[in-house]
């Protein structure tokens, strides 16, 4: 019986492990992909302490630190979580069972893909699921952003600081983002929109993206097709949170399937905590810094929760003495 099992070995789970070790919690980290989404980031420019760092390097450092503090990290996938009298029973893909008094779910988000030809081949070679945050990262580039909600609009604005041209390609007939992003977009002459449109193919020269094919629905549902020369394709059509594991426990989720938490980051089920991108967007900005922050907070909440389990006797006796 562990004090805590952390499901997920991205920045949120690894930070939770570092804090759990420092707090003396007997714990285990179970992660499908060690390092999580972070290892897909070619260069991270906004993680404090590093002017610039490759995502795999940052992951290696976090893993090394978690192990040095005493964390045990297993590569496996949790397929089922159920409640038992003393806490939780976890079953994994490798047919293992583990028991813990508490759990932290840090399973992140799986990015939605367009599923069009060329997408996989050119991922990291012009096809991106996250824009960099530096003001000058896309100097001189011609980019398209696929999507029409806040993430797509924000990416267009971010990339539009430095790119020569940004086209938002959206299948709807108007952006469904906050007004503030619409304002930023309308104020930047380098950003335009292509509505009722979708990308049907991404092409390149083998090394990098050079062109995309766009289908646009015209009047009477006729579809026209055209090719656009581009350097960058940002796919911002949302993500699927890794929250399904907690459905059988009755954990409350927001309409997007992200885990709802109270102001203390606690879920509605005692002993179940969450960290990182899987948390409702009210509390997370889907960045490494926010994942790390919530991982630390979740581990310290687990510590307080476990201490409170043994506290009633102490509280009782002190109250009796005071009386």
Examine residue 276 and tell whether it contacts ligand FAD (CB under 6 A): yes
The span of 10-18, 208-216, 231-239, 310-318 binding ligand FAD (CB under 6 A) equals: 10-18
Which CB sits closer to ligand FAD, 154 or 197? 154
Binding residue for ligand FAD, selected from 18, 21, 28, 36, defined by CB under 6 A: 36
Binding residue for ligand FAD, selected from 11, 71, 87, 241, defined by CB under 6 A: 11
Binding residue for ligand FAD, selected from 145, 291, 298, 302, defined by CB under 6 A: 291
Q: In what order do the strands lie in the sheet with 142-146?
A: 127-128, 232-235, 142-146, 165-169, 191-194
CA distance 9 to 73: 8
Which CB sits closer to ligand FAD, 46 or 318? 46
CA distance 179 to 193: 15
The span of 37-45, 96-104, 299-307, 313-321 binding ligand FAD (CB under 6 A) equals: 37-45
Examine residue 7 and tell whether it contacts ligand FAD (CB under 6 A): yes
Residue linked to tokens 């580039």: 141
Examine residue 286 and tell whether it contacts ligand FAD (CB under 6 A): yes
Examine residue 30 and tell whether it contacts ligand FAD (CB under 6 A): yes
Examine residue 287 and tell whether it contacts ligand FAD (CB under 6 A): yes
Binding residue for ligand FAD, selected from 71, 87, 108, 160, defined by CB under 6 A: 108
Binding residue for ligand FAD, selected from 125, 130, 171, 190, defined by CB under 6 A: 130
Q: What angle do CA 155, 232, 148 make, to 5 degrees?
A: 35
CB of 186 to ligand FAD, least distance (A): 27
> Can you read off the two tokens belonging to residue 311?
């506290």
Residues 6+ apart with CB under 8 A from 106: 6, 7, 8, 9, 10, 12, 13, 16, 274, 275, 276, 278, 291, 295, 298
What interhelical angle do 179-187 and 150-160 show, nearest 10?
30
Helix (H, G, I), strand (E, B) or coil at 127: strand
Binding residue for ligand FAD, selected from 4, 41, 266, 302, defined by CB under 6 A: 41
- Map the footprint of ligand FAD across residues 51-90, applying CB under 6 A: 77-78
H, E, C per residue of 209-266: EEEEEEEEECHHHCEEEEEEECCEEEECCCEEECCHHHHHHCCCECCCCCECCCCCCE
Which CB sits closer to ligand FAD, 106 or 266? 106
CA-based nearest residue to 169, from 195, 207, 205, 140: 195
Examine residue 107 and tell whether it contacts ligand FAD (CB under 6 A): yes
CA distance 117 to 17: 39
Which CB sits closer to ligand FAD, 78 or 169? 78
Binding residue for ligand FAD, selected from 106, 143, 152, 233, defined by CB under 6 A: 106
Helix (H, G, I), strand (E, B) or coil at 295: helix
Binding residue for ligand FAD, selected from 71, 148, 239, 242, defined by CB under 6 A: 242
Phi, psi (degrees; rounded to nearest 5) at 245:
-60, -30
CB of 31 to ligand FAD, least distance (A): 4
Query: How many residues in the chain?
Result: 323
CB of 240 to ligand FAD, least distance (A): 11
Which CB sits closer to ligand FAD, 80 or 309? 80
Helix ranges (DSSP H) in the chain = 11-22, 55-69, 150-160, 179-187, 288-310, 312-322
List interacting residues with ligand FAD (CB under 6 A): 7-13, 30-33, 36-38, 40-41, 44, 46, 77-78, 106-109, 129-130, 132, 242, 245, 276-277, 286-289, 291
């Amino acid at each position: 019986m562990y004090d805590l099992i952390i499901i997920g070995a991205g920045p949120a789970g690894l930070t939770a492990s570092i804090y759990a070790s420092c707090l003396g919690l007997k714990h285990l980290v179970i992660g499908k992909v060690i390092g999580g989404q972070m290892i897909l980031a070619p260069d991270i420019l906004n993680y404090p302490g590093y002017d610039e760092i490759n995502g795999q390097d940052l992951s290696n450092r976090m893993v090394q630190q978690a192990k040095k503090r005493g964390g045990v990290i297993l590569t496996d996938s949790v397929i089922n979580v159920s409640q038992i009298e003393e806490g939780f029973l976890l079953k994994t893909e490798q047919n293992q069972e583990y028991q813990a008094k508490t759990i932290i779910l840090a399973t992140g988000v799986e990015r939605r893909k367009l599923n069009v030809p060329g997408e996989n081949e050119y991922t990291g070679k012009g096809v991106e699921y996250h824009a960099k945050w530096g003001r000058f990262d896309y100097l001189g580039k011609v980019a398209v952003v696929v999507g029409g909600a806040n993430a797509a609009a924000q990416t267009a604005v971010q990339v539009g600081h430095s790119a020569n041209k940004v086209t938002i390609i959206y299948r709807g007939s108007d952006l469904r983002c906050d007004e503030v992003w619409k304002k930023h977009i309308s104020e930047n002459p380098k950003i335009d929109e292509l509505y009722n449109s979708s990308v049907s193919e991404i092409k390149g020269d083998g090394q990098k993206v050079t062109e995309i094919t766009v289908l646009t629905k015209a009047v009477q549902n006729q579809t026209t097709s055209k090719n656009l020369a581009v350097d960058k394709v940002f796919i911002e059509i949302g993500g699927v949170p890794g929250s399904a594991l907690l459905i059988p426990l009755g954990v409350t989720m927001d309409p997007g399937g992200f885990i709802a938490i109270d102001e203390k980051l606690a879920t509605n089920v005692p002993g179940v905590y969450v960290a990182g991108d899987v948390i409702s967007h009210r509390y997370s900005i889907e960045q490494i810094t926010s994942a790390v922050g919530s991982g630390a907070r979740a581990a310290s909440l687990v510590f307080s929760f476990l201490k409170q389990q043994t506290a009633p006797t102490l509280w009782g006796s002190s109250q009796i003495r005071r009386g």
